[in-house]
């Protein structure tokens, strides 16, 4: 990705190379999660940090809002499922990163300067 290549602080990066098993909250099946990026960089204090990065639309990072009608529409139900799956994936990623001494971050359209 050109963005990562252009950053002098980034020492290495890869895309979707880590596979994390997680449990689907709807049917309890074991599934696989591929976070978007793994980035190793030199922080401002000269320490080396590793970030596991997920890129998602901001709307998928917040719980869905029930429609004003109060009805659970198919869209609302779909958004609830997506949010639940994302939370399961991200809980898994946070635990994995904690065990490695890494940091898990979620980037949205608000975090990406090149969109």
CA angle 108, 111, 114 (to 5 degrees): 105
Q: Is residue 22 part of a domain?
A: yes
pLDDT tens across 62-97, in order?
999 888 888 899 999 999 999 999 999 999 999 999
Does the pLDDT at position 115 exceed 60? no
Phi, psi (deg, nearest 5) at residue 33? -115, 130
Asked, for residue 32, whether it belongs to a domain, the answer is yes
Q: Is the pLDDT of residue 110 over 60?
A: yes
Which CATH number belongs to the domain containing residue 43 in this structure? 3.40.1350.10
Work out how many domains the chain is built from and give that number.
1
Nearest to 90 by CA among 64, 58, 59, 53: 53
Domain-located, residue 99: yes
> 11 lies in a domain?
yes
pLDDT in tens, 2-17: 889 999 999 999 999 9
Give the domain extent around 88: 2-107
Note the pLDDT of residue 113.
63
């Amino acid at each position: 990705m050109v963005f990562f290549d252009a950053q002098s602080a980034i020492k290495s990066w890869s895309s979707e190379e880590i596979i994390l098993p997680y449990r689907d909250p709807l049917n309890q099946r074991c599934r696989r999660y591929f976070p978007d990026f793994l980035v190793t960089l030199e922080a401002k204090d000269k320490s080396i940090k590793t970030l596991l990065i997920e890129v998602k639309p901001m709307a998928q990072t917040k719980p869905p809002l029930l429609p004003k009608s109060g009805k659970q529409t198919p869209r609302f139900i779909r958004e609830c499922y997506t949010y639940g799956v994302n939370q399961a994936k991200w809980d898994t990623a946070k635990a994995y990163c904690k065990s490695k001494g890494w940091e898990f971050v979620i980037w949205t359209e608000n975090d990406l300067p090149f969109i």
